[in-house]
Structure 1
Amino acid sequence: MRTPGAIAALPDVASSPTRGAGSADTLPARRVGAFVVMCFGMFMAILDIQIVSASLSEIQAGLSASADEIPWVQTSYLVAEVIAIPLSGYLSRALGTRALFTVSAAGFTVASIMCGLSSSINGMIVWRAIQGFVGGGMVPTVFAAAYIIFPGPRQKMVAPVVGLIATLAPTIGPTVGGYVTEALSWHWLFFVNIVPGIAVAMLSWTLIDIDEPDYSLLQKFDWWGLISMAGFLGALEFVLEEGPRKDWLDDGEILVMAVVAAVSAVAFFARSLMAANPIVDLRAFSNRNFALGSLFSFVMGIGLYGLTYLYPLYLAQIRGYNALMIGETMFVSGVAMFLAAPVVGQLTQRFDPRYILIAGFLLFAAGTWQMSYITADWDFYELLWPQIFRGVGLMAAMVPVTNTALGTLPRERLKNASGLFNLMRNLGGALGLAYVTTVLNERTDLHITRLHEAVNPTSVAANETLQKLTELFGGGADASLQALKKMTQMAHQQASVMGYADVFWALTVMFVALAALGLTMRKPAAPAAGAAGGH
């Protein structure tokens, strides 16, 4: 008998997702090996989202790119990936997991080589888009395979592994990128994928045998569904990525893309609901657990990618850290996740997973609440506990969310649902980055205005500070100008720090609200005895 507190996502798993994957008592070593190989591939694909984030200035210099062009090194990857992720479910059913994963790993490796060899920003953008598209095919495939390969109780052990990879890879991306750039050059951010990429492609073709292709699906391929989905998700990702830098709908290009996203969205949803064989089957959202799990995954994306962006930005902007120093400081969250994964795995087997989920979001909130008191002097030790809370909170939320969303679905719906689940996390990350950037800019501008109003000729404190700075610079007219410039810089830095504090406070409120929403989840029912054995 399983414990009454078993996860909602672990009902009669043997009767659907695991059929054909071996019984609960026997699990072929080949399939375990295949899963390990697939996890390596997924790790590479997710890592490459953030591996360039701490080294964009070096890439910009190497490619002679402008400040407006360099963000596309990340944006092109994300736009292509967000289209590929939901498409992967259909392609996995049509081509089979082995063919899809092998082609994705091989394509990812070739694209990585070409990114490293790029000599222009246009070439880099094209190859990053290809890298993101083929890499996006690997990520949801692993989530689906985990529930197909591992039957019954073994799902409790594999969920923390998948969750760890999905959250650890983007978290340590800046760390890995910082070390690689400092030790070698930015080209090796991409060349490091060559050896593992070749190995993953070869081993995937050799080991993966969990399903059979259904080539008839290729004859029924819904091209209009693909075009509308690409227009919707691609344009939406573009708006969310570029909007904060271009004043949103005040910019003509953003406005056009927003219209494209809206029109394409109507066409995509209509096509998905009416087509006989839609590219993406949205009926998975009719499952209450999957719908709630996807919502939580969306918010986790905000916390995962939003905070992975905020911490390095503060360290570079306020503290003046280089890529290596940022990587070393950010490494704390990765260590916390790694150590928390097995503990969370055990806790989800013994306690109601709703409480683990709520605890995870509350830990998230604790970390961001601490960060709301941030000052310009905060360093490694001040950031230590907020990062630990973030790392442990991510794992505590990710494991029950993944099980809740995917564990109750029948096998034939797993591949499609896995794409939707991962898409929600990525869209949450895109929205989180847009929200964080917009709030940070607006609040910083507000605080600059208020500080300028406070620092005026009638302010005793301002005059005293200006006088001290003038004396520090040696006195005289030039010293007065230097002192005034220094005080202006101090005011702008303080306004920026206050803006960071406001963003962290807003995130705290959001995570507390999500923790409260966890109370609305239904208490999981204990599966019938012997369910793991199949029937």
Structure 2
Amino acid sequence: MSDAAHPDDGADPLARHRKADGEVNWTAVFLGFGGMVLGQFMAVLDIQIVAASLSQIQAGIGATADEISWVQTSYLLAEVVIIPLTAYLSKMWSTRTVYVWACGAFIVTSVLTGFSTNIEMMIVTRTLQGLAAGAMIPAAFATAMTVFPQERRVTANVVFGLVVTLAPTIGPTLGGHLTDALSWHWLFFINVPIGLVVMFLVSRYADFDRGDPRLGKGVDWLGVGLMTVALLSMQYALEEGASEGWFDDGLILFLTVLAAVTGAGFIWRQLTYRQPIVSLKPFGDRNFALGAVMNFVSGAGLFGGTFILPLFLGQVLAYSAAEVGTTMLVSGLVMFAMAPIAGRMVRALDARIPLVIGFGLTAYGIGLGSHVTADWGFWDFAGLQALRGIGTMTAMIAASQLSVSTLPPSLMKDASGLVNLLRNVGGAVGMALLATVLSHQTAVHLGDLSAAVTSASPAAQDMVEGFTNLMRERGMADPEASANKALGMLMRRQASVMGFADGFAFLALACAAAAVLGIFAKPAKVAPAPAGGH
């Protein structure tokens, strides 16, 4: 129904949590919000929880190496489609109703995914699981920005930032240990008890708004179709483009053009239709527009860093899944410790200051990776991750706060969906570009190294002679051929290290650009926290 039909709603989402004396029952509010945050954590965690266990899942369902990547891709594709629709669904049916139904669907699809016996079944169930997860992800942020008073929104934003940054960081570590201790099936079964707790808390305490069923009439199905085609085409092209040679592949080229055409059509439709499925009004606010770009970059920094470092540890240093997880845990621990400090900074200072500092630290930390060598150990990566963790957490909280700092409450649901969508798309773009940089630069460096190993290079000839003597001492049948093979492997490894160094530098430059962009935001003061009480 409309607001007029529900006078208790008004501008006060806490109306149904007020006692007879007018005081807010904050315990109930925190339990409802906490349930939504826990559900969001679970939904984001499931993106990466399978990362360290793909080989075990592949063996369990009889999938090929090319097919197994769809265990992650199908989930992400579904999430990207449903996230921007969540605001409309919440307005039509209420946040609580949408969340509870989404969580129930997430539990059911998690169980079905755990029981998958082939890759086809897993792709279908993971897609449905992603749809349910995507409907849960934006709700916590929108609730934080509308339910809590101004002075408490930064604290709620800190909680939100922890979820967004910690979940994908610890996902591979948790998944690896679950698989080792039990089996890969429990990567999905673990969602059942957590999901039941979330359903109870949200259904019992998260009564913050009322839906307007009239929005079910005149749904912009053309807009839904255009958006779905645009996002699916874009996401698939980004996910598969690097491995298929980008525009050398006819399908990738077609999908890129299709995404551009349908994306433009979707924007036109939302600007002209009387009842848009996704409101683009938040982009009229300068801070939101700048914050959208910075959330896009923070997504690239977060997911890109989580993508490139494990890849280096596994491919170049040959770390096991457990060793990769242990090394990556540094980021999670630093982010967890940094969250309350970053929250105080954002509350006490002009949001642009922690934004610039955060992106600057992220750029510097990731930039250390441009000096990476095959001899780096745990503590070398720990320093990089510590700086990246501090910077990413600070930048993400500041960017989220800045994005909505000058928006009216009526636009918060739409803004939340857009922020989450842009962060996820930023992560997809970041990983796709990184994969391309790694592939291209590694090939370039290998060509340079190969060109340097010529008969005119005394150092190269000494190296070949040394390898030949070593192979002769080991009794190889053809020491010269074995020496050339060993030298080729050494060059490929060194070229790979240099390619990864370029990848770290590329990611650092993107974060540095975001730091500069943050200067142009409009100042927005945050109300001080209350001295005590709730």
Alignment TM-score, normalising by the size of structure 1:
0.93
**CA distances 1:353-390 after superposition (whole Å, capped 9, x unpaired):** 21111110111111112110001121211101110111
**CA distances 1:47-99 after superposition (whole Å, capped 9, x unpaired):** 11111122222222222222221111111111110011000000011111111
Residues 89-488 of structure 1 mapped to structure 2, 5 A cutoff? 89-473=87-471, 474-488=474-488
Q: CA deviation at 1:18?
A: 5.8
Match of 1:521 in 2: 521
Q: CA deviation at 1:35?
A: 0.5
**Shift in CA distance, 19/114, structure 1 to aligned 2, threshold 3 Å:** closer
Q: Is the 1:18–1:152 contact (alpha carbons within 8 Å) kept by the matching residues of 2?
A: no
**CA distances 1:418-445 after superposition (whole Å, capped 9, x unpaired):** 1011111011001101110001100000
In structure 1, list runs of 5 or more residues that go unmatched.
1-14, 531-535
Which of 31, 34, 39 aligns to 1:33? It is 31
Which of 55, 68, 71 aligns to 2:69? It is 71
**CA distances 1:198-255 after superposition (whole Å, capped 9, x unpaired):** 2212332222200111111112211111111100111111111111110112112212
Farther off after superposition, 246-255 or 494-503:
246-255
Q: CA deviation at 1:168?
A: 1.0
Paired residue secondary structure (1:242): helix
Q: Is the 1:225–1:268 contact (alpha carbons within 8 Å) kept by the matching residues of 2?
A: yes
**CA distances 1:152-174 after superposition (whole Å, capped 9, x unpaired):** 21112211111111111111111
Q: CA deviation at 1:20?
A: 4.2
Provide the aligned length of Structure 1 versus Structure 2.
516
Q: Is the 1:17–1:412 contact (alpha carbons within 8 Å) kept by the matching residues of 2?
A: no
**Shift in CA distance, 25/447, structure 1 to aligned 2, threshold 3 Å:** farther
Using CA pairs under 8 Å that are at least 6 residues apart, name the structure with larger relative contact order, 1 or 2: 1
Match of 1:9 in 2: none
Distance 1:39 1:69 in 2: 32
Distance 2:512 2:151 in 1: 31
What letter corresponds to residue 248 of structure 1 in structure 2? W
**Shift in CA distance, 123/476, structure 1 to aligned 2, threshold 3 Å:** closer
Distance 1:276 1:217 in 2: 11
Q: Is the 2:151–2:527 contact (alpha carbons within 8 Å) kept by the matching residues of 1?
A: no
What letter corresponds to residue 482 of structure 1 in structure 2? S
Distance 1:389 1:17 in 2: 40
Match of 1:491 in 2: 491
Alignment TM-score, normalising by the size of structure 2:
0.93
Q: Is the 2:231–2:259 contact (alpha carbons within 8 Å) kept by the matching residues of 1?
A: yes
Q: CA deviation at 1:527?
A: 6.3
Match of 2:5 in 1: none
Q: Is the 1:112–1:193 contact (alpha carbons within 8 Å) kept by the matching residues of 2?
A: yes
What letter corresponds to residue 390 of structure 2 in structure 1? V
In structure 2, list runs of 5 or more residues that go unmatched.
1-9
Paired residue secondary structure (1:203): helix
Residues 5-84 of structure 1 mapped to structure 2, 5 A cutoff? 20=15, 26-84=24-82
Match of 1:510 in 2: 510
**Shift in CA distance, 153/362, structure 1 to aligned 2, threshold 3 Å:** same
Q: CA RMSD in A?
A: 2.0
Match of 1:8 in 2: none
Distance 1:112 1:527 in 2: 41
Paired residue secondary structure (1:277): coil
Farther off after superposition, 270-279 or 252-261:
252-261
Distance 2:529 2:42 in 1: 39
Paired residue secondary structure (2:86): helix
**Shift in CA distance, 528/358, structure 1 to aligned 2, threshold 3 Å:** closer
Q: CA deviation at 1:321?
A: 1.3
Distance 1:276 1:170 in 2: 38
**Shift in CA distance, 112/355, structure 1 to aligned 2, threshold 3 Å:** same
Q: CA deviation at 1:309?
A: 0.5
Paired residue secondary structure (1:69): helix
Q: Is the 1:21–1:150 contact (alpha carbons within 8 Å) kept by the matching residues of 2?
A: no
Farther off after superposition, 333-342 or 449-458:
449-458
**Shift in CA distance, 188/22, structure 1 to aligned 2, threshold 3 Å:** closer
Distance 1:286 1:446 in 2: 43
Distance 1:529 1:73 in 2: 44
Distance 2:341 2:12 in 1: 26
Paired residue secondary structure (2:416): helix
Q: Is the 2:50–2:171 contact (alpha carbons within 8 Å) kept by the matching residues of 1?
A: yes
Q: Is the 1:305–1:432 contact (alpha carbons within 8 Å) kept by the matching residues of 2?
A: yes
Farther off after superposition, 404-413 or 304-313:
404-413
Q: Is the 2:33–2:202 contact (alpha carbons within 8 Å) kept by the matching residues of 1?
A: no
**Quick one: percent identity of the two aligned structures?**
43
**Shift in CA distance, 521/408, structure 1 to aligned 2, threshold 3 Å:** closer
What letter corresponds to residue 492 of structure 1 in structure 2? R
**CA distances 1:278-305 after superposition (whole Å, capped 9, x unpaired):** 1101111001111111111000011011
Structure 1 runs of 4+ with >4 Å offset: 15-25, 525-530
What letter corresponds to residue 224 of structure 1 in structure 2? L
Distance 1:238 1:17 in 2: 41
Paired residue secondary structure (2:511): helix
What letter corresponds to residue 504 of structure 2 in structure 1? F
Distance 1:106 1:210 in 2: 19
Distance 2:175 2:326 in 1: 11
